[in-house]
Amino acid sequence: MYHLEKEKPDDWWEVEALYDLCFAPGRTALSSYRLREDVDPVASLSRTARDEQGVLGGALRYWPVRVAGKRVLLLGPVAVHPTTQGEGLAAAMIRDSLAAAAEEGWERVLLVGDLPYYRRFGFEHGQGVEMPQPTNPDRVLLLSLVPDAWQGVAGMVEKDA
């Protein structure tokens, strides 16, 4: 059994080690990481999943970005330890954190990922929203936490200043 909690400052390096384990070398060279440089994650929404012994099984983070001057949450990375994949940890963290984001008043979420997986959470292809290159535009996915939140919001994703 795993329990979800907000990521604490002391979790930082353990979460980074999980990301290193789960993702290919060079992950920090991806365009989404350029949007995260020198920007703190949204602490109230970033999550960890730990078992009864306190072993980290999964983690996710959110980052503030802007599109057309509007504040947007960038979801990712989402990682689950290889020994716990398929147990629903990622889905639990995503659902929990999206509900918290809506409660906090966030309206828009974007991520770079696979639509067949993220569709179940309500994500759709991002028409008119562009991530810095090189990003496959077919992998830019959007979610409205309030009706029509993405209506009229288009352009390049930029760092939150």
pLDDT at 29: 57
Rounded CA-CA distance 49/71 in Å is 27
pLDDT of residue 154: 95
29: Cβ contacts below 8 Å, ≥ 6 apart: none
CA atoms within 13 Å, Cβ hemisphere of 30: 17
**Contact indicator for 22, 65 with CB cutoff of 8 Å:** no
Q: Spell out the per-residue pLDDT of the chain, length 161, in tens.
A: 899 999 999 999 999 899 888 887 766 656 676 787 888 999 999 999 999 999 999 999 999 999 999 999 999 899 999 998 888 999 999 999 999 999 999 999 999 999 999 999 999 998 899 988 888 889 999 999 999 999 999 999 999 86
Alpha-carbon gap, residue 20 to 96, rounded angstroms: 24
Q: What is the pLDDT of residue 133?
A: 84
Give the three-state DSSP class for 122. Answer: coil
Which among 22, 1, 9 is positioned nearest to 89, based on CA atoms? 1
Which uninterrupted H or E stretch holds 15? helix 12-22
State in words which class domain 3-159 has.
Answer: alpha beta
Q: What pLDDT sits at residue 136? A: 86
- What residue ranges do the domains of the chain occupy? 3-159
